[in-house]
Amino acid sequence: MSLVELTREESVALVRLNRPPVNALNEELAGDLQSAFEECRSSDIRAVVVTGQPNFAAGADIKRFKEQLDEGEETDATAAALVDAIAVLESLEKPTIAAVHGFALGGGLELAMGADFRYLADDARVGQPEILLGLIPGAGGTQRLTRLIGYQRAKKLIFSGRHVPAGEALEIGLADQVASADDILELAMRDAAEFSSMATLAIARAKKVLNETGASREFGADMAKEAAAFQRLFGTEDSREGVAAFIEKRDADFKGE
């Protein structure tokens, strides 16, 4: 079974995550996403929508984390693969929309933030809960979240790991549209089709300038710092405890080590 489905509606590409039930992210899924986004570079695709149902992506595959920790691995390949996939999505020279149903947590939110716009179902929940595992966002969360909602709000969300409801996400700039779960994908596809009928060459140039000037000139270096911090935390006693507590459905007992 393919973990990512790529379909077309005229000049709009629909990239759908397909790892039920919650589209938990792993290295294979991230690799398939990157391949799908590379296909979307085709000039006859003029806009892209990314989605997943009933959940956009509820975060990393925590069971895989435990396997890696039990095997003594000190790094996580999923985060690195997801960074690469999101980089391709963000670099596409055409409008992109993430249509978010259900949960977009951790890497799921990081993926959604790689799109130009985020359309959330009214029952959606988004957040960066890595801190609850003794980790930090590892695929751009510390960087893109800050640029979208500001330093203080990003800090509070990352420190707390809180799930943000759709209405609040709209208020703070983390969402661009909110609609019913039945309508959100249709709305995203409709707006993508409208974008595709516009001067997409001009949109591509505008996007390039916005991406290069709207973010820090040190974005690449800052991403590297985030990745290094994430990998240093992977394998600590606190991360082992956080992962175990998540799987065992209990509160974690963090010791700060």
- Mean pLDDT per 10-residue segment, the chain (257 residues): 91 96 92 97 96 91 69 70 94 96 96 97 95 84 91 95 96 97 98 90 83 66 65 69 72 66
Give residue for tokens 């991403």.
223
Six-digit token pair at 227? 């990745």
Sign of CA dihedral 239, 246, 113, 3: positive
Cβ(104)–Cβ(111) under 8 Å? yes
Check residue 205 and give its pLDDT.
82
Q: What angle separates helix 200-214 from helix 184-196, to the nearest 10 degrees?
A: 110
Return the pLDDT at 73.
Answer: 61
For the chain, list the domains and their CATH numbers. Answer: 4-200 (3.90.226.10)
The string of DSSP letters for 127-196 reads E-GGGGGT----SSHHHHHHHHH-HHHHHHHHHH-PPEEHHHHHHHTS-SEEE-TTTHHHHHHHHHHHHH
What is the helix, strand, coil percentage profile of the chain, to 5? 50, 15, 35
* Amino acid at the residue 167: G
Q: What is the pLDDT of residue 108?
A: 95
User: What does pTM read for this prediction?
Assistant: 0.85
> Which pLDDT value is given to residue 15?
98
* CA–CA distance, 157 with 140 (Å, rounded to integer): 14
d(CA 74, CA 17): 28
Residue 118 identity: R
Residues designated catalytic: 110, 130
pLDDT value at position 75?
63
* Dist. CA 146–CA 158, nearest whole Å: 10
At 63 the pLDDT is 72
First to last CA, the chain: 40
